[in-house]
Amino acid sequence: MSNPLLTPIDQLVAYADIKAEHVAPAIEQLLDQAKVAVDQIAHQPHSTWDSVVAALDDATEELWRSWTIVGHLNSVINTPELRDAYNDCLPKVTEFSTWVGLNEALYRHYKALVASPEYETLKPVQQRVLNLALRDFRLSGVELQGNDRERYAELSEQQAAASQRFSENVLDSIDSWTLLVEDHGTLKGIPEDVQNAARDAAEAAGKKGWLLNLKMPCYLPVMQYAESSELRAQLYKAYATVASDQADKPKLDNSASIEELLSLRAEEAQLLGFASYAHMRLETRMADSPEQVLAFLRTLASKAISFAQADLTQLREFAQKQLGIADLQPWDMAFAAERLRQERYAYSEDEVKQYFTEPQVLNGLFHVVNRLFNVSFEATTASVWHPSVTAYDVKDPTGKTLGHLYIDLYARTGKQGGAWVNGERSRRLSADGLILPVVYLVCNFSAPQADNPALLTHDDVITLFHESGHALHALLSTVDEPSASAFSAVEWDAIELPSQFMENFCWEWPVVQQLSSHVVSAEPLPYALYEKLLAAKNFQSGMQMVRQLEFSLFDMLIHDQPQGLNISEVLKILDTVRKEVAVITPPEWHRFPHAFSHLFAGGYGAGYYSYKWAEVLSSDAYEAFEEDALTSDDGTRDTLVSATGKRFLDEVLAIGGERPAAESFLAFRGREPSIDALLRHSGMHIR
């Protein structure tokens, strides 16, 4: 039987046919082929673009494509067999990647090519690929010798294993926790669709009652709407102690993984001559130093804390006077906030959710992208990894396919929580022709029930638009070199620019009309309800901002250390950060770092500040659309300006990592970024 993981690079993969037993044979075969090819390239006599760079892409692209697929499937349809297959191959793939990065002969070819006459004849994007490669070689330890070189290789493998273990512990901890509710009265206040899903889950488990879990489509509505403070407290503590020493499954405690990762990262940075892991990571970012990042975060904090304190005061007063909650506890926060929102703005999130049916939201998203960037989405029958996944071809106005998009929207057992985008393969123009990008867009929304479509909260809609920005960055690329693609070469603290930019359209009336269709009446969201939604846009924005700043400061401080930290030191730093910027102090047993996959399993270590850094860029970029917006006779503003969209496409999306992100922003905006738009969009410019 043919192995679908060995599908030629220019063809789409039959995902439905991939089984765990395909993984090892495919990865081992591709590893063997790649090792031989890379060795031949490294020891050839010539140092030319075609014989080195293009040849290296040829030698490794099938391996990296197949490994990306395996990692993706491990994240979205995790089974014991697939997990074992992935973990068995992980050390071998890590070893190969480290070997390439430490390959001195290959490094000499790149240096020789940069010093050769050919360099001046290369396209600017090719010159950038070479210069980024030299930087990455140095950051991969190629200049290390002897024991240091061997230790670096060990560190790479150990970090990969520890990150995977962290991720598995979070997934298993969340998947294994359920709460059976047998008294229907306990569920009072929880939306009907959430109760129905819980009842279905109980039936599927052979139990009577309602089975609650910690996945967002269940957890968040319980915290927002359950009138039972005891029920909210139960779920809050379970979620706050996921994969920690405070949970009831000691083998899933991530304390040791956190300590190990911080130690390994600090040692890696020290080997490469950096003062800390944070200093090392910032070598590939827009920001220059940890000090600059900390100053940036604290500047934002200085502007946000007073708003956050005012938000909390209002919430406490409301909870005491209207809800009878004299002492507002952390598990009361979301419940009280939702009640305050309903009183202040006369709507509930559940009411709004009835208008955002998933098919209509997707159609609306495609409409927005078409208006802005003149591309369309055509559903296909491509093979998918789960029946709920949909596949699309992205087309230009002539009908030419630009790329392929897979959308996986619903939460399920065996699927990592959160939302993300990944690329199976990047666009590449080679001697054999043009390879088109293949992109995955993954979310964790509530699934459809019976004959009804899935219902999305407005926050879900924003999340979908956010991830679509990442997807478009890859799908609309005109970059011919994969090493200069968005996901390979755009600085990490600018990679969120397109995603956060797309979020803004979810607040525009013409767009909301396109996105909404009531689940029963099919009517779009009424303007009166939209006005309430818009009025509440910055509801508790101060508290939201300081929460993000708390995460970012914590991340930077634990990584700006000369050596690792034990878990008590990690928690002490978190406590110090909270005293500096937070307005809410969680209970002593709260263990948020233990499930902070962004830092310890998702590549955001010493980079979580990127969300706020890029939000400055994205808010300023969107301001250009506000400035160019068209106003209709009734005063409605339309920011879907195709001319401005084309400039954004040409200068930001299509250009990927062909040039530094600062240059792309400058080319689009015509000036340096300003913090003013972010503060205005967050409602913090006038109070």
Q: Is 461 exposed, middle or buried (0-12, 13-18, 19+ CB in 10 A)?
A: buried
Helix axis angle, 255-271 to 146-176, nearest 10°: 160
For 409, phi then psi, to 5°, come to: -100, -20
Is beta strand 420-425 parallel, antiparallel or unpaired with respect to 401-410?
A: unpaired
Other CB atoms within 10 Å distance of the CB of residue 329: 16
Task: Look up residue 199 and give its two tokens.
Answer: 């009842």
In eight-state DSSP terms, residue 360 is H
Other CB atoms within 10 Å distance of the CB of residue 38: 20
Task: Look up residue 248 and give its two tokens.
Answer: 């009831």
Q: Is 21 a catalytic residue?
A: no
Distances (CA, A) of 565 to 137, 259, 276, 517, 537: 28, 6, 12, 51, 39
Which strand ranges, in their side-by-side order, compose the sheet holding 438-445?
376-380, 390-395, 401-410, 438-445, 420-425
- Short-list 223, 175, 194, CA closest to 446: 194
Total residue length of the chain: 687
Task: Look up residue 648 and give its two tokens.
Answer: 């954004």
- Short-list 678, 637, 664, CA closest to 511: 637
Task: Look up residue 370 and give its two tokens.
Answer: 């078409």
Other CB atoms within 10 Å distance of the CB of residue 317: 12
> SS3 for 391?
strand
Residue 46 to residue 466: CA distance in whole angstroms: 45
Residue 531 to residue 203: CA distance in whole angstroms: 40
In sequence order, what E strands does 188-347 have? 210-213
Catalytic residue among 467, 503, 508, 651: 467
Residues that are catalytic:
467
